[in-house]
Amino acid sequence: MSQPLKGKIALVAGATRGAGRGIAVELGAAGATVYVTGRSTRTRRSEYDRPETIEDTAGLVTEAGGHGIAVPTDHLDPAQVRTLVDRIADEQGRLDILVNDIWGGEKLFAFDTPVWEHDLDNGLRILRLAVETHAITSHHALPLLLRHPGGLVVEMTDGTSDYNRDTYRVNFFYDLAKTSVLRMAFSLGHELGPRGATAVALTPGWLRSEMMLEHFGVREDNWGDALESVPHFAISETPRYVGRAVAALAADPDVARWNGASLSSGGLAQEYGFTDLDGSRPDAWRYLVEVQDAGKPADTTGYR
């Protein structure tokens, strides 16, 4: 198997589950050494109180062909992030890929709830988890990434800049959080580009994460059973799909052409030719605009 990222060092911040885990595994499959961080370990769970752990993610990275290293880290604590980056510098002397995937807000937001009715503490914590963590991580990690030319920063969010510009996303706090991350990538592009590195924003489509599958009462091997009650779930994708998008970007010698851009897993699949695990290429954001949001019946023909 080709390993175009062999010798590359990656940090996936927020790799316990979901997109972060999928990205870490695919970077490992491409040969990278991947530091995976999060707050859920085999000895201590975060407030999510879920079974997924960063040690399990690191094991999957190694099993895929890379080298996974789990480092428990709360990215709201600058001292912990500084210690993490110092460790990478001491052990590797470089950082080639930074993926800011920290989120942690699924249990904190209420759908279609105006700002004056939404729980304020939960809303402000969403902003801290989704925005402040990314800023802290970039502040400490980017000097190491800039030691060598060609570094890549991927800011993970929900929605493309085009879609989020015209669409109200869930509520005030969620909308602000996801749009802020898009702007982070744009700003980092201006700061990193002249210094030989690239920053992009990246969104998966409708993700079949562990939590989403559990919400619909299905598993990955029978996820289609959810279509009877949620027909548009047919456009969904595995976390490995967006992982392959990151691996493709990291292996592209001309990745700087994307600097500051807002990208999607489906859009990059068309560009680089990778597929999801089932061999399909779901293009969720085009589907959302042209089918789901347009009020049409679920039909993924031409979209995956």
Domain locations along the chain:
9-209+239-283
Phi, psi torsion values for 59, nearest 5 degrees:
-65, -40
pTM above 0.85, yes or no: yes
Look at residue 2 in the predicted model and tell me its pLDDT: 85
Q: At 71, is the secondary structure helix, strand, or coil?
A: strand
Mean pLDDT by 10 residues, the chain (304 residues): 93 98 98 97 90 97 98 98 98 98 92 95 97 98 98 98 96 97 98 98 98 96 97 98 98 98 98 98 97 97 96
Task: Tell me the Ramachandran region of residue 39: left when phi exceeds 0, alpha when psi lies from -120 to 50, beta otherwise.
Answer: alpha
Look at residue 47 in the predicted model and tell me its pLDDT: 86
Span 9-209+239-283: which CATH code?
A: 3.40.50.720
CA distance 288 to 140: 36
Beta strands (DSSP E) in the chain are: 9-13, 33-38, 67-72, 97-100, 152-156, 198-203, 262-264
